[in-house]
Amino acid sequence: MSDYTAVPGLHVELTDGLLQLTLARPEKRNAIDDVMMYALIDVIDGAGRDEAVRAILLSGEGDHFCAGADIVARNTAGGQKPRAGSIQRRLPSQAHRLIPVMLNVQTPLICKVHGWAAGIGLAFALAADVTVATDDARFWTPFAERGFTPDSGLTWLLPRRVGEVRARQMLMLSRVVSGAEAQDWGLIHAAVPAEQLDAATDEVVQALASGPTVALGLSKWLMHTGREATLDTQLRNEAFAMELSSRSEDFREGFAAFREKRSPGFSGR
């Protein structure tokens, strides 16, 4: 691995264990087209198997994070409307593959949000392990105003993150939620003034990129599977994860640091 290639609309850079993914269509508010969608799937999936990657950062270029999927470009491609059923055929291999990849990748994933995070842009913020936004960012589900139904796992993610009443406000009443309000709701992890966004995000990235990568990945897996598991199943999963993490080099380093009364220096292995 460790050989990542950018595509039009998506910048990709791996530096010192941090894989930076930048949505780069500022003239379209970083709306996601098919090329970007498939690239995100491949890159994030590959990063989960790449031992050189210890954290992933997803951000947007320009004034906005992501205004959603570029449905105008998709519906006008080729000069004619898609065949009936095209959405049902397409989603499982695009947005409905990307969101599970983000949720399941055993590498910490951070979103840095400013401006609009709408549609799948909101789903990115919800699927990330940690999302830091400006306090004036705007989170929105535009579906009801456009006359169609949500996708990208939003009807699954939003109620679990903010509760059903608030999810209905966003999904059915098209309520726009500010970054500050999103933090209060528990939709995101932190909202800060715009001038503090880079520093606040860098602090999170540094903590995760220098952490015990194996243990962090397994902890993420446990929280995700625990949403649907019985207590007995989850206890078995915890025993399995502890067995694996206790065999890591980072476990030995953490134990040695505890004995020696110093801060650990995790290698991610």
In this structure, are 157 and 241 located in the same domain?
no
For residue 121, being part of any structural domain is answered with yes
For residue 2, being part of any structural domain is answered with no
In this structure, are 108 and 49 located in the same domain?
yes
In this structure, are 132 and 253 located in the same domain?
no
What average pLDDT does the segment 243-261 reach? Answer: 95
In this structure, are 236 and 107 located in the same domain?
no
What average pLDDT does the segment 254-264 reach? Answer: 95
For residue 15, being part of any structural domain is answered with yes
For residue 3, being part of any structural domain is answered with no
Q: Is the pLDDT of residue 72 over 80?
A: no
Kindly report the average pLDDT of the chain as a whole number. 93
pLDDT of residue 129: 97
For residue 250, being part of any structural domain is answered with yes
The count of other CB atoms within 10 Å of the CB of residue 174 is: 14
The domain total for the chain is: 2
CATH of the domain at 111: 3.90.226.10
In this structure, are 68 and 184 located in the same domain?
yes
In this structure, are 40 and 161 located in the same domain?
yes
In this structure, are 112 and 141 located in the same domain?
yes
In this structure, are 149 and 233 located in the same domain?
no
For residue 265, being part of any structural domain is answered with no
What's the pLDDT tens digit per position in 200-215? Answer: 999 999 999 999 999 9
What average pLDDT does the segment 233-238 reach? Answer: 97
For residue 158, being part of any structural domain is answered with yes
Task: Name residue 199's amino acid.
Answer: A
What's the pLDDT tens digit per position in 27-66? Answer: 999 999 999 999 999 999 999 999 999 999 999 999 999 9
What's the pLDDT tens digit per position in 153-184? Answer: 999 999 999 999 999 999 999 999 999 999 99
Cα diameter, the chain: 68
pLDDT cut 90: percent of the chain above it? 86
pLDDT band, very low/low/confident/very high, at 219 (cuts 50, 70, 90): very high
Q: Write out the two tokens for 20.
A: 């930076």
In this structure, are 200 and 242 located in the same domain?
no
In this structure, are 179 and 224 located in the same domain?
no
pLDDT band, very low/low/confident/very high, at 216 (cuts 50, 70, 90): very high
Domain limits at 125? 10-209
In this structure, are 141 and 229 located in the same domain?
no
Q: Are 134 and 191 in contact (CB under 8 A)?
A: yes
For residue 1, being part of any structural domain is answered with no
User: Where is the domain boundary, 190, 209, 228?
Assistant: 209
What's the pLDDT tens digit per position in 84-117? Answer: 767 778 777 788 999 999 999 999 999 999 999 9
In this structure, are 189 and 62 located in the same domain?
yes
pLDDT of residue 79: 61
